C-alpha cells in the first residue's frame, strides 16, 4: 500500500485476516515496495487479529512513522510520494 495510506487501507488489511487466528505484524516502509530491498522497520512486531481496531493500528503506525522521520531527518512529502508501507505478517499457531 502506498505510504499515503489511509484508515480504510489498514481496515481492509485487518478485515482480510482470519478471525480465529492471531498474527504477528511488522510494519515497514520501502522505496520500491519490495521486502528484499532496503527498508525502515517502524516498530517491533505487533500482535493483531481480525478483531483488532483499525484506528488504533493506524494511529500507532502514524506515531512510529513520525519518530522515524525525525530520527532519520526525512521530510514528510518526500516519503509520502516515494515510499510504500508494507505489513510483513505471519500467522501464529497456538497449541493448547
Domain extent listing, the chain: 7-92
State pLDDT tens for residues 7-25: 888 999 999 999 999 999 9
State pLDDT tens for residues 25-74: 999 988 887 778 888 899 999 999 999 999 999 999 989 988 888 888 87
The H or E element that residue 91 is part of is: strand 84-92
Question: CA-to-CA distance for 17 and 50, rounded, in angstroms?
Answer: 5
pTM of the model: 0.81
**Per-residue DSSP letters for 19-80?**
TT-EEEEEEEEESSS-TTS-EEE-SS-EEEETTS-HHHHHHHHHHHHHHHHHHHT--HHHHH
Cβ atoms 46, 25 nearer than 8 A: yes
The mean pLDDT value for 76-88 works out to 71
DSSP structural state of residue 2: B
Amino acid at each position: 500500500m502506498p505510504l499515503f495510506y489511509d484508515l480504510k487501507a489498514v481496515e481492509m488489511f485487518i478485515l482480510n485476516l482470519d478471525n480465529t487466528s492471531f498474527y504477528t505484524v511488522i510494519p515497514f516502509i520501502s522505496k520500491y515496495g519490495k521486502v528484499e530491498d532496503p527498508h525502515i522497520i517502524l516498530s517491533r512486531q505487533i500482535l493483531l487479529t481480525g478483531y483488532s481496531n483499525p484506528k488504533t493500528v493506524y494511529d500507532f503506525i502514524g506515531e512510529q512513522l513520525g519518530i522515524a522521520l525525525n530520527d532519520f531527518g526525512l521530510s514528510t512529502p518526500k516519503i509520502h510520494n516515494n515510499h510504500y508501507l508494507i505489513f510483513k505478517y505471519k500467522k501464529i499457531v497456538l497449541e493448547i
